[in-house]
Amino acid sequence: MISITGIGWINQQEYGCVMMGIQESYAVDALPKKKIFSHAFKNFGRLDSVSKMTCSAIALALKDAGIDCPPESKRDIGTIGSGSSGSLQSDLDYFRDYLDSGRTLSRGNLFIYTLPSSPAGEAAIHFGLQGPVFYIAGPGNSVATALRTASEIILNNEASVMLAGMTGPDSAVYFVLKKTSDAAGDVLCSYDYAMKVMETNSGLDDMVREFLNSMKGSVV
């Protein structure tokens, strides 16, 4: 069976790990990188805002699932990202910057974030994740589509562990999915339960609250 073994989340004021029961506040524009990332994130400042949120949520999800990702080592974990507006903000930032230069110079460092798959790609590079990486979009709840696809990839033995999640304008949530036996003790909830929560909660914050409440009540 496919289970959720960790959930990491972050918004503009708080971040947390659902299974570990971590929920901490932080001051605006003062992301506590040392607390979130197990090893230093090279050039974190050059990332666009979606990539910063995505990589932070993924760091928290991996920590929640007890997956250690030391630098220079690689592992068979894939990442599916999703979001309501794709790379729109980075598209605007890149093209406005180019227009401001008189349509002569553009910046490669802004251009690379105009790909919707780049935030998940940044996470793959930092954490050494060699599984499938792509961005998924569609009508309705795209995080549910991302989770469903991640589950299919594991069942098809295309990757042993998958990260799937969504980054919105002000928040991000990522899930760790893996194949487990019925008796596995490191499971947060079943894939079916997670999908049920996603179908009934549209906002990321609502979704996280529901998982946190579930943990407290041990209903999973």
Partner 1 sequence: MPREMAGRGVSPEEMKAVVVSYDMITAYGRGAGACWDGTMSGRTAVSHFDRFNTQAFQSSSAAIIRGLDYLREDSLVMQMMKQLFNGSAASIPGRSALILATTKGEIDLLERSLLTGQGEASGCNLNNLLQKVSRLAGIKGDGMVISAACASASAAVARAAAMIRSGKHDSVLVVACDSVTEFVYSGFSSLMALDKFAARPFDKNRRGLSLGEAAAYALLMSESRAGKEKRKTLGEIAGWGLSDDANHMTGPSRTGDGLALAITKAMKLAGTDEKDIGFISAHGTGTIYNDAMEIKSFNSVFREKKPVYSIKGGIGHTMGAAGLVEMIMALRALKEKTVPPTVNLEDIDDDATGWVSRRERSIGPDKKALLTNAGFSGINAALVLAP
Size of the site for partner 1 (CB under 8 A): 52
108 forms part of the interface with partner 1 (CB under 8 A) = yes
The one segment of 15-23, 60-68, 82-90, 171-179 that binds partner 1 by CB under 8 A = 82-90
Residue with tokens 């890149």: 94
Contact 155, 101 (CB under 8 A): no
> Which CB, 97 or 210, lies closer to partner 1?
97
1 forms part of the interface with partner 1 (CB under 8 A) = no
Please state whether 48 falls in left (phi above 0), alpha (psi between -120 and 50) or beta: beta
Contact 147, 155 (CB under 8 A): no
Strand partners, 10: 15, 172
Pairing type for strands 2-10 and 172-179 reads antiparallel
Compute CA distances 43 → 33, 52, 108, 184, 203, whole Å. Answer: 12, 11, 15, 38, 30
Which stretch of DSSP H or E encloses residue 39?
Answer: none
> Which CB, 41 or 94, lies closer to partner 1?
94
40 forms part of the interface with partner 1 (CB under 8 A) = no
The one segment of 58-66, 113-121, 165-173, 207-215 that binds partner 1 by CB under 8 A = 113-121
Q: How far is the CB of 191 from partner 1 (least distance, A)?
A: 15
Question: Which residues within the stretch 115-134 sit at the binding site for partner 1 (CB under 8 A)?
Answer: 115-118, 120-122, 124-125, 127-134
* Contacting positions for partner 1 (CB under 8 A): 74, 78-79, 85-86, 88, 91-92, 94-96, 98-99, 103-108, 111-112, 114-118, 120-122, 124-125, 127-140, 145, 149, 152-153, 155-156, 158
